[in-house]
Structure 1
Amino acid sequence: MTTPVHLDDLISSAGALAAGGGRVILGITGAPGAGKSTVGTRIVDSLGPDKAVLVPMDGFHLANAVLLANGLRQVKGAIETFDDAGYAKLLQRIREQKSGEIIYAPSFNRDLEEPIAGSIPVTADVPLVVTEGNYLLAEAGAWPSARECLTESWFLDPEQDRRHHWLITRHMDYGKSAEDARLWALGSDEDNARLIEAMAHRADRVLRVKGL
């Protein structure tokens, strides 16, 4: 069941998780264009760097050269275009992080359309790690190992027309023509969305965020 909620309430919920003691990993998932990175960024920015850090799943995109070599470039973003084992291993390290240890996570550069290794430092004294991405609740490959590392998982479920609008706008912002953006959003992205939406029942909370 989808629960309407304000973003400020989610920030408060995340703050309560951070205050609970020990390392907490919050997973935010949903279909492409659901607002995952927006919500994750707002939570981390609101709580501040002493309490929260954002580690996106997108840092585990396979490089474009690998996708081209394997005939996958035109479906970039599909579940098979990610290093699921690498992502699961990183979350395991973060969950078990020792005092004084720094773990460096990868980010994703949307201008280059490439992952950037070792660009997000995660220190042991930050209680809340927010991770967001499409396939956090998938059952194939190493994804279940990643899910086991999450303290709590939130599935974002916006209205479909709004999600499509956000997605097309984002593709255009990063250089696609209006026609290409629409074709990608309603083609490859929508194929992924159907797979992801079938995972919603595995989340701890299914949410429709107001005010995004």
Structure 2
Amino acid sequence: MSQPPEEIARQMRDHILGLPKKPRQIIAVAGPPASGKSTAARALAHALGRAGKSAAVIPMDGFHLDNAVLAARGILSRKGAPHSFDLQGFTQLLARIAENSEAEIAYPLFDRARDISIAGAATLPRSVEFVIVEGNYLLLDQDGWRDLRKFWDSAIMLMPPRAEIEARLLQRWIDHGHTPEAARARRDANDLPNAELVLANALPADWVMAEAA
């Protein structure tokens, strides 16, 4: 990001703390792949903690379908596209979080190194005031996905310049051990189409964090 994550988080924190008060608020941090959602969400949780608020980050990536399921459906090469997620399971989790009637809710996390989702890898206590959900498709205007909008007390969209997204995606695959040529092929075949889908089909956000090109 052109601004330090701490400054992004401070701005988001001030925005969120200005919302009408509720026992629990669910904040969406959306954006295309490599827009900095995970970093921004973690920094926001830290900033809220420093302000005396309890916060937790829940990544949408925990709801990746397993590679074996994707392979059986012939869509393993499109892992990360909307249809490669367990949208129903994700929706049910959000409904439970919003209801906030359970002492503790378990949820899955995605292990990027092993490329698998781990069920029950983290828990959310009832006492948490701010639940920060981060993911590509939290504002996607498509069947099923658009229904998530009702859960967000506030929705933030991160929108770096396309050139920055392209560079980050390329570096991500290189960091995972791919040659520059293989990294570029994976980015162009899957990641960039997903990014374009997010940018072209997003419901309105409550706040857009756009970086200068």
Whether these two folds match at TM > 0.5 is: yes
Per the TM alignment, residue 209 of structure 1 is displaced from its structure 2 partner at its CA by: 5.0
Aligned to 2:118: 116
Aligned to 2:31: 30
Per the TM alignment, residue 196 of structure 1 is displaced from its structure 2 partner at its CA by: 0.6
Aligned to 1:60: 63
Q: Does the alignment pair 1:186 with 2:188?
A: yes
Identity %: 35
State how 1:42-191 maps to structure 2 within 5 Å: 42-48=43-49, 51-98=54-101, 101-191=103-193
Structure 1 unmatched ranges of 5 or more? none
Structure 2 unmatched ranges of 5 or more? none
Separation in 1, partners of 2:147, 2:103: 22
Per the TM alignment, residue 145 of structure 1 is displaced from its structure 2 partner at its CA by: 2.8
What code does the residue aligned with 1:62 have?
A: L
What code does the residue aligned with 1:74 have?
A: S
Greater length-normalized contact order (CA 8 Å, ≥ 6 residues apart): 1
Q: Return the TM-score normalized by structure 1.
A: 0.88
Per the TM alignment, residue 16 of structure 1 is displaced from its structure 2 partner at its CA by: 4.5
Q: How many residues align?
A: 205
- After TM superposition, the runs of 4+ consecutive aligned structure 1 residues lying more than 6 A away are none
Separation in 2, partners of 1:160, 1:175: 23
Say if 1:142 and 1:201 are closer, same or farther in 2 by CA, change over 3 A: closer
**Higher mean C-alpha displacement, 191-200 vs 62-71:** 191-200
What code does the residue aligned with 1:204 have?
A: D
Per the TM alignment, residue 54 of structure 1 is displaced from its structure 2 partner at its CA by: 0.5
Separation in 1, partners of 2:28, 2:152: 6
What code does the residue aligned with 2:200 have?
A: A
Per the TM alignment, residue 200 of structure 1 is displaced from its structure 2 partner at its CA by: 3.4
RMSD between aligned alpha carbons? 2.2
- Kept in 2, the 8 Å contact 1:104–1:121? The answer is yes
**Higher mean C-alpha displacement, 102-111 vs 171-180:** 171-180
